[in-house]
Amino acid sequence: MGYTTQMNAARQKIVTKEMQAVAAWEGIGMDRLLKLVANGQAVIPANKNHKCLKPFGIGSALKTKINVNLGTSRDCMNMDVELEKVMNAVNMGAEAIMDLSSFGDTRVFRRKLTAECPAILGTVPIYDAIVYYNKPLKDITSREWIDVFKMHAEDGVDFMTIHCGLNRSTAARFKQSKRLLNLVSRGGSLIFSWMELTGNENPFFEFYDDILEICRQYDVTLSLGDACRPGCIADAGDVSQIEELVVLGELTARAWEKDVQVMVEGPGHMALNQIQANMEIQQTLCKGAPFYVLGPLVTDIAPGYDHITAAIGGAIAATYGASFLCYVTPAEHLRLPTVEDVKEGIIASKIAAHAADVAKGLPGAADWDYRMGQARRTLDWERQFELAIDPEKARRYRAQSQPEHSDTCTMCGKMCSVRNMNKILNGENVDIME
Ligand code: SF4
């Protein structure tokens, strides 16, 4: 092939088939895409063993993408239900799926995904190592963590989250800083516990060069996890979060030296007024590497509605530099999401992503809205359903509440401003009482 990773190809000006697909989807020129991938400002996660992949690019100059987290857990271990959620998510436009399975035969499910699922696939090998070795946390060796990473790479996973920014120095600073909600990252809390139990350095930090070699071999994109992401707005922007981000910036540079593609993960919970500055700090410390945000949830008080708190934060984050939004469902903080929760989370996240693309002025982004404006002006309900981000819901709502006159809806009836303006500007009479 003449190249190792997509980044390595871009640096040699080799145009891969994945780049061709991405450039066509984004509507950008190949020279621009090559430059973005070569300098790390866009990634194309595409493991060489994920043969059915439909590739997408992730970067702030490209359309905002979303990720959907799925997978089995000890309490909900039905693989068929999880697979149904995966396929629904893909059909609803999720560009990426993270398999966070933490129970059962995870390799069977993972391999089924890389064989059948066209979305970009991500995993967190820390979770899987616990299941795979099935022994006390403290007895897992440093090399065993890395072996699981390699196994996921062989299985065709396109990107992996590793919590390598939480090294002994960051951990010491975290313990000093006395946060309200400690570490809420599942992987971060596990690796911190392992470090405390064994006294060892974080293996993903200690053996980072070995990780990079595996990434080069399979073209795995690293997603540098934020173990210290704030889990409540009181912890946002604190010393632990920023110190970890500094380490992640250094690890980003080391990955780029080996042509390994990198994303950096971000908050978490964060008040609305802090998001823009946080995105700018990340862009500076990590030299424009794509930022993958988990929310941010702009308030802590809305369990049951956290798809909304996350969509508000996600839209602002993506406007100011984030390029990849991890969806949040109404079930966040409460339970494993159902099929319906997943749908609501995806829609909320897609709205946030699109709103940001419009705000950033990405070519073509506002055209969709313009077409909806045209359909509303002509009261063309069928066209409005076609253009709706959730056509089924839009159609169902209108069907459930039929107006007396079909050129209105039951909100305003004959006082419909759209209908009346169309009439008066067309020289027709407007009589509300007739
Ligand atoms: S009736 Fe009111 S809400 Fe419904 S389409 Fe007309 S202006 Fe809009």
Dump pLDDT digits (tens) for 61-82: 999 999 999 887 776 677 888 8
Segment 242-246 shows an average pLDDT of 95
Task: Note whether 208 and 262 are within 8 A (CB).
Answer: no
Segment 137-157 shows an average pLDDT of 97
What tokens does 214 get? 């595996």
Q: In the predicted model, what is the mean pLDDT of the chain?
A: 95
Q: How high is the pLDDT of residue 405?
A: 87
Q: How high is the pLDDT of residue 432?
A: 86
In tens, the pLDDT along 276-288 reads 999 999 999 999 9
Does 75 or 410 have the greater pLDDT score? 410
Confidence label for 101 from pLDDT (cuts 50, 70 and 90): confident
CATH code of domain 6-360: 3.20.20.540
Q: How high is the pLDDT of residue 142?
A: 96
Q: Which residues contact 51 (CB under 8 A, 6 or more apart)?
A: 115, 156
* Ligand 1 contact via 411 beta carbon (within 6 Å): yes
Residue spans in the chain of domains classed CATH 3.20.20.540? 6-360
User: Whose Cα sits closest to atom 3 in ligand 1?
Assistant: 411
245, pLDDT greater than 90: yes
Q: Which residues contact 363 (CB under 8 A, 6 or more apart)?
A: 27
Confidence label for 12 from pLDDT (cuts 50, 70 and 90): very high
The verdict on whether residue 333 carries a ligand-binding annotation is: yes
Confidence label for 2 from pLDDT (cuts 50, 70 and 90): very high
162, pLDDT greater than 80: yes
In tens, the pLDDT along 295-328 reads 999 999 999 999 999 999 999 999 999 999 999 9
Ligand 1 atom closest to Cα of residue 417: 7
Q: Where are the beta strands (DSSP E) in 8-119?
A: 65-70, 96-99
Does 154 or 104 have the greater pLDDT score? 154
| Percent of the chain clearing pLDDT 70 (strictly above) | 99
* Ligand 1 contact via 412 beta carbon (within 6 Å): yes
Report the distance separating Cα 120 and Cα 261, nearest Å.
14
Task: Note whether 122 and 85 are within 8 A (CB).
Answer: no
Report the distance separating Cα 11 and Cα 3, nearest Å.
9
Q: How high is the pLDDT of residue 76?
A: 66
Ligand 1 centroid – CA 417 distance (Å): 6
Question: Mutate which of 372, 401, 409, 420 to test ligand 1's pocket (most atoms within 8 Å of Cβ)?
Answer: 409
Ligand 1 centroid – CA 23 distance (Å): 39
In tens, the pLDDT along 343-364 reads 999 999 999 999 999 999 999 9
End-to-end CA distance of the chain: 74
